[in-house]
């Protein structure tokens, strides 16, 4: 793995390797080994052109727990507001010595451009690009599902190292969701069955060709007993930028697609509820559903640190570190 740009970059063995490595990282944290020396002397740049709480902080925490130096760049308050381009921003940060660049950008494909441009010698990690991909979110979701559905305390028919036999319903604003796109790809790589549930206006053109079933009635899908329900944030900010309307109305949306206590009660006992955050409480998820014992939303955030430690470790120290960069150092 040279970069991590898309969930589609990972085959089954690579995905399982990241999840297993994340498990080892979590084990070190549980033993209160707060800092590993693995990336001492390496520099990780967090290059964020879009707002973030969870992803930016957890990449920073992950890099620091591996002893890397961290440079945090936020477009707000930077020379981007004076018109500086992605290229010149990347070249500036490269001049400061980036071994890895974690990028979030509003433009789909920006991480791919950065990775293949020569503007940085470092490994590029996609931390969310437009409506396209958010691969580390899918990895932390899969890690969380594996912890709950596989092995001791998990379901007996979801066994082994992947998620074969699991059924995951992904519910809500699929149209604007990079989380949904990444999860569909990764969950299918891991052998899970995926059902997308959304109002017709929030299903992307072409979604019927994705490796997932598409449904429009949430209550019908919940009655089939999914092992996990992943609620998506309604992305009102992207609706205005893409010219799309918010159909149905917020009230109709909540009635048709909101997860609440009544709908939770239909689920099997072992089923868990995920949400990538940030949540619109009262719109796609009620407060009692978000705070219920079934919800693993806070655990997702904690698991995100271990997963991002694993990704940085495998990219920079796992035998796949950028060879040109190593050669430069040796010379």
Q: Is 64 a catalytic residue?
A: no
**Nearest distance, CB of residue 304 and ligand CP, angstroms:** 8
233 is in an annotated binding site: yes
Residue with tokens 């609620």: 231
Q: Among 17, 28, 38, 54, which one carries the catalytic annotation?
A: 54
54 is in an annotated binding site: yes
- What is the chain's Cα-based Rg? 20
Query: Three-class SS string for 70-116?
Result: EEEEECCCCHHHHCCCHHHHHHHHHHCCCCEEEEEECCCCHHHHHHC
How far apart (Å, rounded) are the C-alpha atoms in residues 33 and 39? 15
Query: Which residue's CB is nearer to ligand CP, number 109 or number 277?
Result: 277
The residue whose Cβ lies closest to ligand CP is 55
278 is in an annotated binding site: yes
255 is in an annotated binding site: no
How far apart (Å, rounded) are the C-alpha atoms in residues 236 and 311? 30
Q: Is 54 a catalytic residue?
A: yes
User: What is the token pair recorded at 277?
Assistant: 């955050």
Burial zone of 277 (CB within 10 Å; 0-12 exposed, 13-18 middle, 19+ buried): middle
137 is in an annotated binding site: yes
Query: Which residue's CB is nearer to ligand CP, number 230 or number 321?
Result: 230
Please report, to the nearest 10 degrees, the dihedral formed by the alpha carbons of residues 97, 315, 37, 58 taken in order. Answer: 90
**Nearest distance, CB of residue 230 and ligand CP, angstroms:** 12
Q: Among 31, 82, 323, 329, which one carries the catalytic annotation?
A: 82
Q: Is 308 a catalytic residue?
A: no
**Nearest distance, CB of residue 309 and ligand CP, angstroms:** 16
Q: Among 3, 42, 65, 104, which one carries the catalytic annotation?
A: 104
Q: Among 21, 42, 43, 55, which one carries the catalytic annotation?
A: 55
Q: Among 134, 176, 263, 325, which one carries the catalytic annotation?
A: 134
**Nearest distance, CB of residue 181 and ligand CP, angstroms:** 13
Overall residue count recorded for the chain in this entry:
331
116 is in an annotated binding site: no
Quick check: 203 and 174 in contact, CB under 8 A? yes
Query: Which residue's CB is nearer to ligand CP, number 3 or number 178?
Result: 178
User: What is the token pair recorded at 225?
Assistant: 């007993």
178 is in an annotated binding site: yes
What φ, ψ does residue 104 adopt, rounded to 5°?
Answer: -115, 130
**Nearest distance, CB of residue 68 and ligand CP, angstroms:** 19
Q: Is 121 a catalytic residue?
A: no
Quick check: 48 and 75 in contact, CB under 8 A? yes
Kindly list the strands in the beta sheet with 167-171, ordered across the sheet, starting from the edge strand earlier in the chain.
213-215, 193-197, 167-171, 228-231, 272-274
Query: Which residue's CB is nearer to ligand CP, number 226 or number 304?
Result: 304
**Nearest distance, CB of residue 48 and ligand CP, angstroms:** 9
104 is in an annotated binding site: yes
Give the pairing of strands 123-129 and 228-231: unpaired
How far apart (Å, rounded) are the C-alpha atoms in residues 212 and 32? 40
Query: Which residue's CB is nearer to ligand CP, number 133 or number 195?
Result: 133
Q: Is 136 a catalytic residue?
A: no
Note the residues at the interface with ligand CP (CB under 6 A): 52-55, 128, 137, 276-278
Q: How far apart are the first and last CA of the chain?
A: 24
Query: Which residue's CB is nearer to ligand CP, number 127 or number 163?
Result: 127
Q: Which residues are catalytic?
A: 54-55, 82, 104, 134
Please state the residue numbers annotated as binding site for L-aspartate.
82, 178, 233
Please state the residue numbers annotated as binding site for carbamoyl phosphate.
54-55, 104, 134, 137, 277-278
Please state the residue numbers annotated as binding site.
54-55, 82, 104, 134, 137, 178, 233, 277-278
């Amino acid at each position: 793995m040279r970069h991590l740009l898309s969930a589609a970059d990972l085959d089954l063995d690579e995905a399982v390797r990241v999840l297993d490595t994340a498990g080892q990282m979590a084990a070190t944290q549980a033993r209160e080994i707060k800092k590993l020396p693995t990336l001492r002397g390496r520099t990780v740049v967090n290059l964020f052109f879009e707002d973030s709480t969870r992803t930016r902080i957890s990449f920073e925490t992950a890099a620091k727990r591996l002893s890397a130096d961290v440079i945090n760049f936020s477009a707000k308050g930077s020379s981007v507001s004076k018109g500086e381009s992605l290229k010149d921003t990347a070249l500036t940060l490269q001049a400061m010595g980036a071994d890895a660049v974690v990028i979030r950008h509003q433009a789909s494909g920006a991480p791919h451009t950065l990775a293949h441009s020569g503007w940085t010698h470092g490994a590029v990690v996609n931390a969310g690009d437009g409506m396209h991909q958010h691969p580390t979110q899918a990895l932390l979701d899969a890690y969380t599902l594996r912890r709950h559905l596989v092995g001791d305390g998990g379901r007996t028919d979801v066994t082994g190292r992947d998620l074969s036999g699991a059924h995951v319903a992904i519910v809500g604003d699929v149209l604007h969701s990079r989380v949904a796109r990444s999860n569909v790809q990764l969950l299918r790589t891991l052998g899970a069955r995926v059902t997308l549930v959304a109002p017709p206006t929030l299903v992307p053109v072409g979604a019927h060709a994705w490796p997932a079933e598409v449904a429009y009635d949430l209550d019908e899908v919940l009655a089939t007993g999914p092992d996990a329900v992943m609620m998506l944030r309604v992305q009102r900010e992207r609706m205005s930028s893409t010219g799309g309307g918010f159909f149905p109305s917020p009230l109709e949306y909540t009635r048709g697609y909101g997860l609440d206590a009544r709908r939770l009660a239909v689920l099997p006992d072992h089923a868990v509820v995920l949400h990538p955050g940030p949540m619109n409480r009262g719109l796609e998820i009620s407060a009692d559903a978000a705070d219920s014992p079934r919800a693993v939303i806070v655990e997702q955030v904690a698991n995100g640190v271990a997963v991002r430690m694993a990704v940085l470790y495998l990219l920079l120290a796992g035998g796949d570190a950028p060879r040109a960069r190593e050669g430069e150092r040796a010379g």
